[in-house]
Amino acid sequence: MAEPTTFLNAIREALWEEMERDPSVFLLGEDIANYGGAFKLTKGFIEHFGPDRVWDMPISEGIIVDSAVGASMNGLRPVAEIQFLDFITCCFDQICSYAAKQLYRWDVKCPIVIRGPYGAKTSGGPYHSACPEAWFANMPGVKLVAPAHVYDAKGLLKAAIRDDNPVIFMESKWLYRNLKEVIPPGDQVFTPLGKAAVRREGRHCTVVAWANMVHESYIAADKLAKEGVELEVIDLRTITPWDHETVLESVKKTGRCIVFHEAPRTGGFGGEIAAYIGQEGFAWLDAPVTRIGAPDTHVPFAKPLENYYVPNAEDLIGAVREVMAY
Protein backbone atom coordinates (compact mmCIF):
# COMPACT_ATOMS: atom_id res chain seq x y z
CA MET A 1 0.00 0.00 0.00
CA ALA A 2 1.28 3.47 -0.91
CA GLU A 3 2.54 5.66 1.93
CA PRO A 4 1.19 9.19 2.50
CA THR A 5 3.24 11.86 0.75
CA THR A 6 3.53 15.59 1.31
CA PHE A 7 2.13 18.40 -0.81
CA LEU A 8 5.71 19.43 -1.59
CA ASN A 9 6.73 15.94 -2.67
CA ALA A 10 3.68 15.65 -4.93
CA ILE A 11 4.87 18.73 -6.83
CA ARG A 12 8.34 17.26 -7.00
CA GLU A 13 6.95 13.98 -8.37
CA ALA A 14 4.95 15.82 -11.03
CA LEU A 15 8.02 17.73 -12.23
CA TRP A 16 10.18 14.60 -12.25
CA GLU A 17 7.64 12.47 -14.12
CA GLU A 18 6.90 15.15 -16.70
CA MET A 19 10.61 15.64 -17.36
CA GLU A 20 11.00 11.88 -17.79
CA ARG A 21 7.98 11.75 -20.09
CA ASP A 22 8.79 14.76 -22.26
CA PRO A 23 12.37 15.86 -23.05
CA SER A 24 11.11 19.34 -23.99
CA VAL A 25 10.27 20.05 -20.33
CA PHE A 26 13.02 21.82 -18.40
CA LEU A 27 13.33 23.89 -15.21
CA LEU A 28 14.75 27.34 -14.59
CA GLY A 29 14.87 29.50 -11.50
CA GLU A 30 16.99 30.85 -8.68
CA ASP A 31 19.09 28.30 -6.75
CA ILE A 32 17.08 25.36 -8.11
CA ALA A 33 20.03 23.36 -9.48
CA ASN A 34 23.02 22.88 -7.20
CA TYR A 35 21.22 24.06 -4.05
CA GLY A 36 17.95 22.27 -4.85
CA GLY A 37 15.67 25.25 -4.32
CA ALA A 38 14.70 27.27 -1.25
CA PHE A 39 12.44 24.43 -0.08
CA LYS A 40 14.67 21.63 -1.50
CA LEU A 41 11.88 20.77 -3.93
CA THR A 42 14.30 20.24 -6.86
CA LYS A 43 17.08 18.57 -4.89
CA GLY A 44 18.71 15.88 -7.04
CA PHE A 45 17.22 17.08 -10.33
CA ILE A 46 20.45 18.39 -11.80
CA GLU A 47 22.27 15.13 -10.97
CA HIS A 48 19.60 13.12 -12.80
CA PHE A 49 18.60 15.40 -15.69
CA GLY A 50 21.80 17.40 -16.14
CA PRO A 51 22.56 21.13 -16.43
CA ASP A 52 20.90 21.42 -19.84
CA ARG A 53 17.49 20.83 -18.23
CA VAL A 54 17.91 22.38 -14.79
CA TRP A 55 19.06 25.99 -14.99
CA ASP A 56 20.24 28.22 -12.18
CA MET A 57 19.25 31.76 -13.15
CA PRO A 58 20.29 35.24 -11.97
CA ILE A 59 18.25 36.96 -9.27
CA SER A 60 16.03 38.54 -11.91
CA GLU A 61 12.49 37.26 -12.28
CA GLY A 62 12.13 39.26 -15.49
CA ILE A 63 15.02 37.38 -17.10
CA ILE A 64 13.64 34.05 -15.83
CA VAL A 65 10.22 34.56 -17.44
CA ASP A 66 11.64 36.21 -20.58
CA SER A 67 13.88 33.16 -21.05
CA ALA A 68 10.92 30.84 -20.54
CA VAL A 69 8.84 32.70 -23.14
CA GLY A 70 11.69 32.57 -25.66
CA ALA A 71 12.23 28.87 -25.03
CA SER A 72 8.53 28.17 -25.54
CA MET A 73 8.71 29.83 -28.97
CA ASN A 74 11.35 27.28 -29.90
CA GLY A 75 9.38 24.15 -29.03
CA LEU A 76 10.28 23.74 -25.36
CA ARG A 77 8.04 23.55 -22.28
CA PRO A 78 9.79 25.52 -19.53
CA VAL A 79 8.75 25.45 -15.89
CA ALA A 80 9.96 28.66 -14.27
CA GLU A 81 10.20 28.86 -10.50
CA ILE A 82 9.66 32.20 -8.76
CA GLN A 83 11.27 31.66 -5.37
CA PHE A 84 8.34 33.43 -3.65
CA LEU A 85 5.37 34.53 -5.71
CA ASP A 86 5.52 38.01 -4.14
CA PHE A 87 8.41 38.60 -6.55
CA ILE A 88 6.23 37.89 -9.57
CA THR A 89 5.72 41.66 -9.66
CA CYS A 90 9.25 41.88 -11.11
CA CYS A 91 8.11 39.98 -14.22
CA PHE A 92 4.62 41.46 -14.57
CA ASP A 93 5.42 42.92 -17.99
CA GLN A 94 6.91 39.67 -19.28
CA ILE A 95 3.80 37.75 -18.25
CA CYS A 96 1.14 40.24 -19.30
CA SER A 97 2.70 41.82 -22.40
CA TYR A 98 4.39 38.75 -23.85
CA ALA A 99 3.32 35.37 -22.46
CA ALA A 100 -0.38 36.23 -22.21
CA LYS A 101 -0.62 37.90 -25.63
CA GLN A 102 1.65 35.70 -27.72
CA LEU A 103 -1.07 33.42 -29.10
CA TYR A 104 -3.43 36.35 -29.73
CA ARG A 105 -0.84 38.45 -31.55
CA TRP A 106 1.11 35.90 -33.57
CA ASP A 107 -0.75 32.59 -33.26
CA VAL A 108 2.31 31.22 -31.45
CA LYS A 109 1.69 28.99 -28.43
CA CYS A 110 3.31 29.79 -25.09
CA PRO A 111 3.38 26.55 -23.05
CA ILE A 112 5.11 27.85 -19.93
CA VAL A 113 4.41 27.22 -16.26
CA ILE A 114 5.36 29.81 -13.68
CA ARG A 115 5.24 28.15 -10.28
CA GLY A 116 6.18 29.03 -6.74
CA PRO A 117 5.12 29.27 -3.09
CA TYR A 118 2.62 31.84 -1.86
CA GLY A 119 0.45 32.73 1.11
CA ALA A 120 0.90 33.36 4.81
CA LYS A 121 0.86 31.26 8.02
CA THR A 122 4.66 30.72 7.97
CA SER A 123 5.87 34.05 9.43
CA GLY A 124 7.19 35.11 6.05
CA GLY A 125 6.31 38.75 6.60
CA PRO A 126 5.14 41.28 4.02
CA TYR A 127 7.60 40.27 1.27
CA HIS A 128 7.11 36.51 1.28
CA SER A 129 3.39 35.96 1.96
CA ALA A 130 1.31 37.55 -0.81
CA CYS A 131 -1.64 35.95 -2.59
CA PRO A 132 -1.32 37.27 -6.17
CA GLU A 133 -4.27 35.61 -7.90
CA ALA A 134 -6.31 38.79 -8.39
CA TRP A 135 -3.34 40.53 -10.03
CA PHE A 136 -3.54 38.19 -13.02
CA ALA A 137 -7.19 37.15 -13.06
CA ASN A 138 -7.96 40.24 -15.16
CA MET A 139 -5.39 39.27 -17.83
CA PRO A 140 -6.82 37.15 -20.67
CA GLY A 141 -4.52 34.39 -21.83
CA VAL A 142 -3.16 33.41 -18.42
CA LYS A 143 -4.47 30.46 -16.42
CA LEU A 144 -4.27 30.44 -12.61
CA VAL A 145 -4.17 27.30 -10.49
CA ALA A 146 -4.21 26.94 -6.68
CA PRO A 147 -4.47 23.32 -5.43
CA ALA A 148 -5.63 22.47 -1.93
CA HIS A 149 -4.87 18.74 -1.87
CA VAL A 150 -1.83 16.56 -2.46
CA TYR A 151 -3.43 14.65 -5.32
CA ASP A 152 -4.30 17.88 -7.10
CA ALA A 153 -0.89 19.42 -6.46
CA LYS A 154 0.51 16.63 -8.60
CA GLY A 155 -2.37 16.22 -11.03
CA LEU A 156 -2.90 19.90 -11.73
CA LEU A 157 0.81 20.56 -12.23
CA LYS A 158 0.93 17.78 -14.81
CA ALA A 159 -2.04 19.33 -16.58
CA ALA A 160 -0.42 22.77 -16.42
CA ILE A 161 2.84 21.52 -17.95
CA ARG A 162 0.96 19.85 -20.82
CA ASP A 163 -1.21 22.91 -21.46
CA ASP A 164 -0.30 25.12 -24.41
CA ASN A 165 -1.05 28.35 -22.51
CA PRO A 166 0.89 30.16 -19.80
CA VAL A 167 -0.14 28.88 -16.36
CA ILE A 168 0.68 30.45 -13.00
CA PHE A 169 0.77 27.60 -10.51
CA MET A 170 0.38 28.83 -6.94
CA GLU A 171 1.61 26.53 -4.17
CA SER A 172 0.57 27.20 -0.59
CA LYS A 173 3.84 26.96 1.30
CA TRP A 174 1.93 26.27 4.51
CA LEU A 175 0.62 23.09 2.86
CA TYR A 176 4.09 22.02 1.66
CA ARG A 177 4.89 19.91 4.71
CA ASN A 178 1.72 20.24 6.79
CA LEU A 179 -0.48 18.15 4.52
CA LYS A 180 0.01 14.47 3.70
CA GLU A 181 -2.22 12.21 1.61
CA VAL A 182 -1.94 8.89 -0.16
CA ILE A 183 -1.83 9.22 -3.93
CA PRO A 184 -1.40 6.50 -6.55
CA PRO A 185 2.13 6.17 -7.89
CA GLY A 186 2.96 6.94 -11.50
CA ASP A 187 1.57 8.91 -14.37
CA GLN A 188 -2.13 8.14 -13.80
CA VAL A 189 -2.47 11.09 -11.41
CA PHE A 190 -3.94 13.87 -13.55
CA THR A 191 -6.44 16.63 -12.76
CA PRO A 192 -7.94 18.66 -15.64
CA LEU A 193 -7.71 22.43 -15.47
CA GLY A 194 -10.89 24.47 -15.10
CA LYS A 195 -12.91 21.96 -13.07
CA ALA A 196 -13.86 22.54 -9.44
CA ALA A 197 -14.41 19.73 -6.92
CA VAL A 198 -17.34 19.43 -4.53
CA ARG A 199 -15.42 18.26 -1.48
CA ARG A 200 -18.35 18.06 0.91
CA GLU A 201 -22.04 18.06 0.07
CA GLY A 202 -24.53 20.09 2.08
CA ARG A 203 -28.01 21.63 1.96
CA HIS A 204 -27.77 24.99 3.66
CA CYS A 205 -24.86 27.11 2.38
CA THR A 206 -22.22 26.90 -0.37
CA VAL A 207 -18.63 27.80 0.44
CA VAL A 208 -16.30 28.47 -2.49
CA ALA A 209 -12.62 28.37 -1.52
CA TRP A 210 -9.17 27.44 -2.74
CA ALA A 211 -5.82 26.42 -1.27
CA ASN A 212 -5.57 26.87 2.54
CA MET A 213 -9.12 28.09 2.94
CA VAL A 214 -10.51 24.76 1.73
CA HIS A 215 -9.10 23.14 4.86
CA GLU A 216 -10.45 25.90 7.08
CA SER A 217 -13.83 25.23 5.43
CA TYR A 218 -13.68 21.58 6.52
CA ILE A 219 -13.08 22.65 10.13
CA ALA A 220 -16.02 25.05 9.99
CA ALA A 221 -18.24 22.44 8.34
CA ASP A 222 -17.53 19.91 11.09
CA LYS A 223 -18.38 22.42 13.83
CA LEU A 224 -21.54 23.71 12.11
CA ALA A 225 -22.78 20.18 11.47
CA LYS A 226 -23.22 19.86 15.26
CA GLU A 227 -25.65 22.79 15.00
CA GLY A 228 -27.57 21.12 12.18
CA VAL A 229 -26.10 23.37 9.48
CA GLU A 230 -24.70 21.59 6.41
CA LEU A 231 -22.04 23.35 4.36
CA GLU A 232 -21.36 22.42 0.76
CA VAL A 233 -17.61 22.96 0.28
CA ILE A 234 -16.36 23.64 -3.24
CA ASP A 235 -12.63 23.54 -3.91
CA LEU A 236 -12.23 25.82 -6.94
CA ARG A 237 -8.76 24.43 -7.85
CA THR A 238 -8.48 26.50 -11.04
CA ILE A 239 -9.11 30.21 -10.50
CA THR A 240 -9.06 31.17 -14.17
CA PRO A 241 -10.88 29.80 -15.98
CA TRP A 242 -13.09 29.04 -12.99
CA ASP A 243 -15.90 26.49 -12.98
CA HIS A 244 -19.08 28.59 -13.19
CA GLU A 245 -21.37 25.61 -13.65
CA THR A 246 -20.38 23.68 -10.53
CA VAL A 247 -20.62 26.78 -8.35
CA LEU A 248 -23.98 27.88 -9.75
CA GLU A 249 -25.50 24.41 -9.44
CA SER A 250 -24.50 24.35 -5.79
CA VAL A 251 -26.00 27.80 -5.15
CA LYS A 252 -29.25 26.69 -6.77
CA LYS A 253 -29.38 23.87 -4.23
CA THR A 254 -28.39 25.78 -1.08
CA GLY A 255 -29.65 29.32 -1.78
CA ARG A 256 -26.67 30.85 0.03
CA CYS A 257 -23.01 31.36 -0.84
CA ILE A 258 -19.83 32.52 0.89
CA VAL A 259 -16.61 33.04 -1.06
CA PHE A 260 -13.65 32.41 1.23
CA HIS A 261 -10.07 33.35 0.31
CA GLU A 262 -6.82 34.31 2.00
CA ALA A 263 -6.05 37.37 -0.13
CA PRO A 264 -7.30 40.80 1.01
CA ARG A 265 -11.03 41.12 0.51
CA THR A 266 -10.97 44.40 -1.43
CA GLY A 267 -10.20 43.62 -5.07
CA GLY A 268 -9.90 39.91 -4.32
CA PHE A 269 -11.06 37.33 -6.84
CA GLY A 270 -13.97 36.52 -4.56
CA GLY A 271 -15.63 39.69 -5.79
CA GLU A 272 -15.78 38.28 -9.33
CA ILE A 273 -17.41 35.06 -8.13
CA ALA A 274 -19.88 36.98 -5.97
CA ALA A 275 -20.79 39.27 -8.87
CA TYR A 276 -21.36 36.33 -11.20
CA ILE A 277 -23.63 34.58 -8.69
CA GLY A 278 -25.52 37.80 -8.07
CA GLN A 279 -26.11 38.24 -11.80
CA GLU A 280 -26.74 34.66 -12.90
CA GLY A 281 -28.08 33.08 -9.72
CA PHE A 282 -30.09 35.88 -8.13
CA ALA A 283 -33.39 34.00 -8.44
CA TRP A 284 -32.09 31.18 -6.22
CA LEU A 285 -30.51 33.31 -3.47
CA ASP A 286 -32.07 33.50 -0.01
CA ALA A 287 -29.36 35.83 1.31
CA PRO A 288 -26.70 38.16 -0.13
CA VAL A 289 -23.49 36.53 -1.35
CA THR A 290 -20.83 37.07 1.33
CA ARG A 291 -17.07 37.41 0.91
CA ILE A 292 -14.41 36.61 3.50
CA GLY A 293 -10.86 37.78 2.92
CA ALA A 294 -7.91 39.16 4.79
CA PRO A 295 -7.83 42.77 6.06
CA ASP A 296 -6.68 45.44 3.64
CA THR A 297 -3.14 45.55 4.97
CA HIS A 298 0.18 43.83 4.39
CA VAL A 299 0.90 40.48 5.98
CA PRO A 300 2.43 40.97 9.45
CA PHE A 301 5.59 39.14 10.46
CA ALA A 302 4.77 38.72 14.15
CA LYS A 303 2.98 35.42 14.66
CA PRO A 304 0.08 36.72 16.81
CA LEU A 305 -0.61 39.46 14.24
CA GLU A 306 -0.33 37.03 11.34
CA ASN A 307 -2.78 34.67 13.04
CA TYR A 308 -5.21 37.56 13.39
CA TYR A 309 -4.65 38.58 9.75
CA VAL A 310 -5.27 35.23 8.04
CA PRO A 311 -8.98 34.29 7.72
CA ASN A 312 -9.91 31.10 9.54
CA ALA A 313 -12.72 28.67 10.30
CA GLU A 314 -14.16 30.88 13.05
CA ASP A 315 -14.55 33.74 10.58
CA LEU A 316 -16.41 31.41 8.26
CA ILE A 317 -18.64 30.09 11.04
CA GLY A 318 -19.65 33.62 11.97
CA ALA A 319 -20.47 34.46 8.35
CA VAL A 320 -22.52 31.28 7.93
CA ARG A 321 -24.59 32.08 11.00
CA GLU A 322 -25.28 35.54 9.59
CA VAL A 323 -26.46 34.32 6.18
CA MET A 324 -28.53 31.56 7.80
CA ALA A 325 -30.27 34.19 9.94
CA TYR A 326 -30.91 36.59 7.06
CA 25, CA 260: separation in Å to the nearest integer?
A: 34
Q: Is 261 a catalytic residue?
A: no
Strand runs labelled E in 69-179: 77-81, 113-118, 143-145, 167-172
Domains and CATH numbers, the chain: 5-181 (3.40.50.970), 197-324 (3.40.50.920)
CA distances from 129 to 29, 61, 122, 292 (A): 19, 17, 8, 18
Residue 44 is predicted with a pLDDT of 97
Q: Which residues contact 188 (CB under 8 A, 6 or more apart)?
A: none
Return d(Cα 231, Cα 204) in angstroms, integer: 6
Q: Is 217 helix (H, G, I), strand (E, B) or coil?
A: helix
Specify the pLDDT at position 16: 97
Closest CA to 69 of 51, 94, 93: 94
* Residue numbers of the chain with a pLDDT score lower than 50: none
DSSP type of residue 97: I
pLDDT attached to residue 1: 63
Q: What is the pLDDT of residue 259?
A: 98
pTM score over 0.95: yes
Cβ contacts of 154 within 8 Å, gap of 6 or more: 10, 11, 13, 14, 183, 189
pLDDT digits (tens, 9 = 90+) for 139-171: 999 999 999 999 999 999 999 999 999 999 999
Provide the residue type at 127 as one letter: Y
Of the candidates 48, 128, 149, 204, the residue annotated as catalytic is: 128
